[in-house]
């Protein structure tokens, strides 16, 4: 965090990585965001996973029981229909939520111990962009799930590196299940990042609360405006925080003073939207073979199932 904050806040333009949003408060805010009427990605992905859980379970467990790892699991709500379908078939060997927040991982494991009493459970606390070498490997087949659209928060270079790192951590015959937001009407997309209740704005500002809490900074989050912009050329939503007044911020934990002019922005993350063929090509280039792609009834979101070649 010290490295990310120093590098990002001394760059031009200033930026902070998306992963810094997700402390306990950030996870709670994101959960609230997914319930807003404008935020279609969660509803659409849930429609797919609920409707196709049996198909996913049948595909990945055809040969043997499978161990499931969910990256950025949160409360493991997204993957539950798939886990239930695998459990009903008697083919859920183990489940491993992988998340940056230790208390969330513990809570999930306590909850699932009751739901799946005959399934091995373990947790991984870490950053899945850095710690994929810690994926459990007990020589059974594995399904790595990456849901919730987080895959779109990577830049193109980061996405390529992530896929290569994941492929290196897996064996031929393992599986990758990834949810991705698809290109659609920009008005529909932007509404999801500018909800009327202001939850996205508060979630975006949470990165400043994180730095205040963890690095003894004195940001005034209320004096930063949430901005979401659509870039048609790159098919991305660009999220920013714009200073509403001149400020000097002391980040005591890294002995850094940062000045902001009125209107100066901190880039706080992107959300890339995909064409189906584009994502299929990226998976194939990284050593994955696309087996299935399912979309919701509106064609807004896709869930891609790929196998390690």
CB atoms within 10 A of CB 122: 14
Distance CA(272)–CA(278), nearest Å, equals 12
Each residue's pLDDT tens digit, 136-185: 988 789 999 999 989 999 999 999 999 999 999 999 999 999 999 999 99
Given phi > 0 = left and psi -120 to 50 = alpha, else beta, which region is 90? left
Same domain, 129 and 245: no
Structure token pair of residue 186: 């920009």
Each residue's pLDDT tens digit, 199-232: 999 999 999 999 999 999 999 999 999 999 999 9
Percent of the chain with pLDDT over 90: 88
Q: Is residue 22 part of a domain?
A: no
- Where does the pLDDT of residue 78 fall: very low under 50, low under 70, confident under 90, or very high at 90 and above? very high
Q: Give the domain CATH number at 128.
A: 3.40.50.150
Gap between the terminal Cα atoms of the chain: 35
Same domain, 263 and 296: no
> What pLDDT is recorded for position 116?
95
Same domain, 165 and 190: no
Comparing 31 with 264, the larger pLDDT belongs to 264
Q: Is residue 29 part of a domain?
A: no
Q: Is residue 227 part of a domain?
A: yes
Count how many domains the chain has.
2
Q: Which residues contact 143 (CB under 8 A, 6 or more apart)?
A: 60, 66, 67, 68, 69, 174, 175, 176, 177
Provide the whole-model pTM.
0.91
User: Residue 72 in contact with residue 108, Cβ under 8 Å?
Assistant: no
SS3 per residue for 240-298: EEEECCCEEEEEHHHCEEEEECCCCEEEEEEEECECHHHHHHHHHHCCEEEEEEEECCC
Same domain, 56 and 150: yes
CA 44 to chain centre: 16
Q: Is residue 147 part of a domain?
A: yes
Distance CA(44)–CA(244), nearest Å, equals 35
Same domain, 7 and 68: no
Same domain, 49 and 165: yes
Distance CA(226)–CA(170), nearest Å, equals 39
Please give the residue range of the domain that contains residue 45: 40-185+276-308
Same domain, 140 and 204: no
Q: Which residues contact 161 (CB under 8 A, 6 or more apart)?
A: none
> What pLDDT is recorded for position 139?
78
User: Residue 300 in contact with residue 181, Cβ under 8 Å?
Assistant: yes
Distance CA(50)–CA(204), nearest Å, equals 29
pLDDT at 193 over 90: yes
At 221, give phi and psi (nearest 5°).
-55, -35
16-25, 37-46, 124-133: least confidently modelled range: 16-25
pLDDT at 24 over 90: no
Same domain, 161 and 296: yes
């Amino acid at each position: 965090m010290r490295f990310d904050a120093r590098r990002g806040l001394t760059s031009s333009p200033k930026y902070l990585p998306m992963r810094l949003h997700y402390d306990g408060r950030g996870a709670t805010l994101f959960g609230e965001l997914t319930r807003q009427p404008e935020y279609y990605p969660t509803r659409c992905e849930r429609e797919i996973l609920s409707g196709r859980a049996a198909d996913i379970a049948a595909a990945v467990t055809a040969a043997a029981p499978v161990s499931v790892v969910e990256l950025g699991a949160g409360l493991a709500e997204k993957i539950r229909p798939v886990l239930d379908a695998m459990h009903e078939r008697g083919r859920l060997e183990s489940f491993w939520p992988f998340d940056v927040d230790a208390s969330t991982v513990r809570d999930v494991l306590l909850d699932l111990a009751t739901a799946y009493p005959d399934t091995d459970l373990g947790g991984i606390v870490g950053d899945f962009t850095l710690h994929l070498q810690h994926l459990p490997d007990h020589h059974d087949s594995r399904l790595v799930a990456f849901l919730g659209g987080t895959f779109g928060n990577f830049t193109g270079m980061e996405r390529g590196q992530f896929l290569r790192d994941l492929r290196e951590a897996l064996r031929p015959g393992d599986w990758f299940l990834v949810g991705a937001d698809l290109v659609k009407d920009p008005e529909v997309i932007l509404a999801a990042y500018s909800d009327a209740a202001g939850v996205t704005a508060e979630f975006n500002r949470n990165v400043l609360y994180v730095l205040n809490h963890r690095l003894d900074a004195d940001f005034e989050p209320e004096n930063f405006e949430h901005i979401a912009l659509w870039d048609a050329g790159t098919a991305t939503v660009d999220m920013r925080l714009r200073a509403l007044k001149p400020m000097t911020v002391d980040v005591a934990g890294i002995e850094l003073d940062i000045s902001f002019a009125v209107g100066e922005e901190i880039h706080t993350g992107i959300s890339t939207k995909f064409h189906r063929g584009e994502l299929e090509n990226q998976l194939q280039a990284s050593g994955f073979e696309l087996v299935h792609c399912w979309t919701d009834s509106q064609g807004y979101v896709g869930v891609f199932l790929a196998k390690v070649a």
